[in-house]
Amino acid sequence: MEEKPRSALSNGFYYGMIVGAAIIVFSLLLFLMDLHMNKSVSWISYLILCAGLIWGTLDFRKKHSNGFLTYGKAFTSCFWIGLFAGLIVSIFTFVFAKYIHPGFINEILDQTRASLLEKKPEMTDEQVQQAVDITSKFISPPFMALGSVFMYAGASAIFGLILAIFLKKEDPSLNSTM
């Protein structure tokens, strides 16, 4: 049975949900292993995102675009997948920071304080506290969720621009002259 053609938007929604769920599972595993504050392993979520962009766009090309995909369609597919994944992850981020681990914000502020003291040991306690107070105004579950959406949208745009170069496959019949 042949699958019905799918638009880049609906393909993005489908694979975005899968990729978002994979990133959430990875984030929960990091939390359970007490590695959620480790910046050196957090970049793996970008690898999951890239893998999902490639997988979803290749599937879109193969099953819903007759095996061909222009650069623009490949980019659009990547972008929609990443945007929907980002929306799912942002909802999770809000729920995580608000209900699952309410102390998460304090951990971020403690990490900020430690980072400031490490990078600039000459700072006074008052200067450090002032910097942490400013940071705390922008660290709340809603701000973190909103930031997550923008971060994933931006990353998807950048990754999409690059990946589309490799994921496109032009239809040779469109280039022939008569």
Q: What is the pLDDT of residues 71-115, one digit of tens each?
A: 999 999 999 999 999 999 999 999 999 999 999 999 988 988 888
Which two three-digit tokens encode residue 63?
A: 């099953």
**pTM score:** 0.87
User: Over the stretch 153-172, which tens digit does the pLDDT of each residue have?
Assistant: 999 999 999 999 999 998 88
Q: Residue type for 76, please?
A: T
Cα separation, 27 vs 144, whole angstroms? 15
Please report the DSSP string for 67-121 in residue order: T-B-HHHHHHHHHHHHHHHHHHHHHHHHHIIIII-TTHHHHHHHHHHHHHHHH-T
Cα separation, 37 vs 43, whole angstroms? 12
Conformation bin of residue 124: beta by default, left when phi > 0, alpha when psi is -120 to 50: beta
* Domain extent listing, the chain: 8-101+141-169
